[in-house]
Structure 1
């Protein structure tokens, strides 16, 4: 996978492609209630504008804000995928819907435990970003997430913008 178009993601079985603003407004109503993986994508080609401080909540008194210089260092030119996340496993029943609602709430300033992907909330256009998801019924979400991050690194030489660990 080259990670450069939504068409490619659709072919890989991803669905949804809803804006963060829409997901917040609908309380993630249309998101799958199965376990799986999800991607945060940005389809605009303009340079990102970073904000300081972050819009995200402070979970356990941890400030999610990082320097603009650090954000610029992590930015991946020409990639539409900004973050790859997961929800659930065979032993953890957390659904895509539940995890994405937590992510939205964290981005809305609530003290929610969703530290992964926190760089997303320092993008000025974060509400316009899209989220797509893929239920992973036959595979563990963590295995699919790892594989996607490895494939991304093979193409771009580093992890997606907001994935801080592999």
Structure 2
């Protein structure tokens, strides 16, 4: 596990459905056919789970997205792991999970998920992180998973970010939607007279 936690957000005591329930995760609904309107709008993290973690995986070499080589998927597979992916939703769970579909390229983890023959049996659960940046909470959860299994979940191809100055601030900024060019930017006013006289 990483030497330094990014947040004080509670971690599950194991990587099972029951442990995630105890840690405050909710949902546990089918990933396929997920309706974004049924999800909370706030920031959070989510976890994709297998229904049967003992069953050997069957991979497809075809995908609506750019397919991974079967050998790559097999190398990343963790036998017996119930958790396949830990993701973040900084712009909101409704926005992020509502777009988690086999034909959407905006989920790097989805590329691996949709190559599983059992994709139609996978479940997803989530927890809101209103006081912490989801990127940091995701990083802590991935680190905790690595501490148990020795590597990241199957579909977490890239390592989690260590956090930024913004994500390390004590009070997260509100989630903003996407707007037209120029909208959503913060204006910073600098007193030039004060700078010249100091």
Q: Same fold (TM over 0.5)?
A: yes
Aligned to 1:39: 47
SS at match of 1:103: coil
**Aligned length, in residue pairs:** 146
1:133 partner SS = strand
Write the deviation string for residues 22-57 of structure 1: whole angstroms up to 9, x where unpaired.
41xxx2332111110000100302111111112x43
Which TM-score applies when normalising by structure 1?
0.83
Secondary structure of the residue aligned to 1:116 is helix
Contact 2:60-2:70 within 8 A present in 1 as well: yes
Task: Identify unmatched segments of 5+ residues in structure 1.
Answer: 58-62, 89-93
Q: What's the secondary structure of 1:72's corresponding residue?
A: helix
RMSD after superposition: 1.3
Q: CA offset at residue 155 of structure 1?
A: 0.2
By relative contact order (CA 8 Å, sep 6+), the higher-ranking structure is 1
What does 1:46-61 align with in structure 2 at a 5 Å threshold?
Answer: 46-54=55-63, 56-57=64-65
Q: Which runs of 5+ in 2 are unaligned?
A: 1-12, 160-198
Q: Is 1:116 aligned to residue 109 of structure 2?
A: yes
Matched residue, 1:148? 141
1:162 aligned partner: 155
Alpha-carbon contact 2:25-2:126 (below 8 Å) kept: yes
Match of 1:96 in 2: 93
Partner SS state of residue 122, structure 1: coil
Counterpart of 2:78 (choices 76, 79, 84) is 76
**Which structure would you say has the larger Rg?**
2
Q: Which of the pair is proportionally richer in helix?
A: 1
Contact 2:44 2:130 in 1 (8 A): yes
